[in-house]
Amino acid sequence: MTASQPELLYYCPASIGGIADYAHFQVVALAGLGVRVTLLCPTDWPHTRETAYAVRPSLLPSVGAKNLPRWQSRFRISRAIMLNQARLAATVRHESFRRVLCATYSEYLAPLWFKELRRLANTGVLFGAVVHDPVRDFIVGPKWWHRWSVACGYSFLREAFVHDDITLDTVQSMPRLHTTVIPHGIYSFPQPDTGRAKTRAELGVPQSATLMLSFGHIRDGKNLDLVLRAMAECPNFYLLVAGKEGSSGQRPVSFYQALASQLGVADRCRWFVRFIVEREVGNLFVASDLALLMYSKAFRSASGALNAAVFYRTRCLASSGPGGLRSSVEKYDLGVWVEPDAVGAIVDGLRQLQTNDINPRWCAYER
């Protein structure tokens, strides 16, 4: 380390999921460019052996709020937001960081915590954020509170990084906010340690079947119910669902399992409902024929799961609203993109993937 190295505080309140994965790989890349990075993260941050950056695990662990009453779940989440933002401000203030990059933009409860960060920004601290989800259409509380929160969340930022060309709705004029389009960036995972044939045999999936992989958090916006309905019309397709259940308020895995039974496709479904450790990821992708990225039309961001699929050279079937996912899939022929939220479109997409010779431009995407 030298005194001339640029120094950055990277704030990531998530320890699992797409935001945490992206943050880890981005911080590794920044450190590789010579930036001295300190990561302010939860106490359950999984990459504790990473030596490319300094880890400061002083934030609250990711909130586990399943099976709690709604009021209790929201209280715990709200408490975590407030305490983590307070610790961010205290770290910047006490350790004199001048550049801070937030792993994601957030407006939740912003009117209650933004003032201290704006005061720091007014003293010359440069704040930036990766705006993974630029369309903030998930409204908590009255609309006036939501719009005020969005404005407060942007008010102290000088730099916003987005994955697709978009005009951010900041509610109020933010003349000092500079927006930069950046690629999502590729991920790096361990190579598989079990061959395709062996993994499929362990899963009980015929070698001749087409195995679809739904990878990552299980939540409503990924349209698993529509995929199951499409499977009823596509008898040679099997489904592997690998990831943790979503937070409180999302349909539980038992809903999808019951639906699979009702549709007569349960015998073609495999469920790994848990956190998937890195050494397992490669085996699941190599055993699969395609990755499912079946987001609803409300999804207008990029997808970390797409970059895992690219790493393992797995074609995808994707849907979403306009944004980074659609543009990446179509521009680089990474699979088939279909209209969102429609069973018929999924059926057509599956048949197209099975019959058409698609040649993904993996290397062009990675460059």
Q: Are residues 239 and 339 in the same domain?
A: yes
Is the residue at 116 inside a domain?
A: yes
**Token reading at 126:** 């440069």
Is the residue at 260 inside a domain?
A: yes
Q: Are residues 172 and 214 in the same domain?
A: no
Q: Are residues 133 and 277 in the same domain?
A: no
pLDDT at 18: 82
pLDDT at 66: 57
Which CATH number belongs to the domain containing residue 356 in this structure? 3.40.50.2000
Is the residue at 189 inside a domain?
A: no
CA distance 286 to 303: 19
Q: Are residues 230 and 336 in the same domain?
A: yes
For the chain, where are the E strands, in sequence order? 7-11, 36-42, 54-59, 99-102, 126-130, 159-162, 178-181, 210-215, 237-242, 269-272, 290-294, 316-319, 335-337
pLDDT at 1: 45
Is the residue at 190 inside a domain?
A: no
CA separation (Å) from 272 to 1, 65, 238, 254, 280?
43, 20, 14, 13, 11
Q: Are residues 135 and 221 in the same domain?
A: no
53 Cβ neighbours under 8 A, 6+ residues apart:
10, 27, 28, 30, 31, 37, 38, 39
Rounded to 5 degrees, φ, ψ at 213 are -115, 120
pLDDT tens-digit readout, 88-145 = 999 999 999 999 999 999 999 999 999 999 999 999 999 999 999 888 877 788 999 9
**Token reading at 200:** 């499929």
Size of the chain, expressed as the number of residues it contains: 367
Give, in degrees to the nearest 5, the angle at Cα 6 between 25 and 106: 50
**Which domain, by its residues, includes 141?**
7-181
CB 285 within 8 A of CB 309: yes
Q: Are residues 220 and 169 in the same domain?
A: no
pLDDT tens-digit readout, 63-77 = 655 566 777 778 888
Is the residue at 150 inside a domain?
A: yes
Q: What is the pTM of this model?
A: 0.81
Q: Are residues 358 and 232 in the same domain?
A: yes
Q: Are residues 105 and 41 in the same domain?
A: yes
Total number of domains in the chain: 2
Final residue before a domain boundary, out of 124, 153, 181: 181
Helix axes 253-263, 224-231, angle to 10 degrees: 20
Q: Are residues 304 and 252 in the same domain?
A: yes
Final residue before a domain boundary, out of 181, 212, 247: 181
Q: Are residues 107 and 200 in the same domain?
A: no
Residue type for position 240: L
Is the residue at 107 inside a domain?
A: yes
Q: Which of 229, 239, 177 is nearest to 204 (CA)?
A: 239
pLDDT at 68: 67
Final residue before a domain boundary, out of 181, 214, 244: 181
Q: Are residues 176 and 227 in the same domain?
A: no
290 Cβ neighbours under 8 A, 6+ residues apart:
210, 211, 212, 213, 314, 315, 316, 317, 335, 353
Is the residue at 269 inside a domain?
A: yes
CB 275 within 8 A of CB 240: no
Q: Are residues 41 and 101 in the same domain?
A: yes
Is the residue at 75 inside a domain?
A: yes
277 Cβ neighbours under 8 A, 6+ residues apart:
none
pLDDT at 175: 93
Per-residue pLDDT tens digits of the chain, which is 367 residues long: 455 678 999 999 998 878 898 999 999 999 999 999 999 999 999 886 777 899 999 999 876 555 667 777 788 889 999 999 999 999 999 999 999 999 999 999 999 999 999 999 999 999 999 999 888 877 788 999 999 999 999 999 999 999 888 899 999 999 999 999 998 888 888 889 888 999 999 999 999 999 999 998 898 989 999 999 999 999 999 999 999 887 667 889 999 999 999 999 999 999 999 888 888 899 999 999 999 999 999 887 778 889 889 999 999 999 998 878 888 899 999 999 999 999 999 999 999 998 878 899 999 998 8
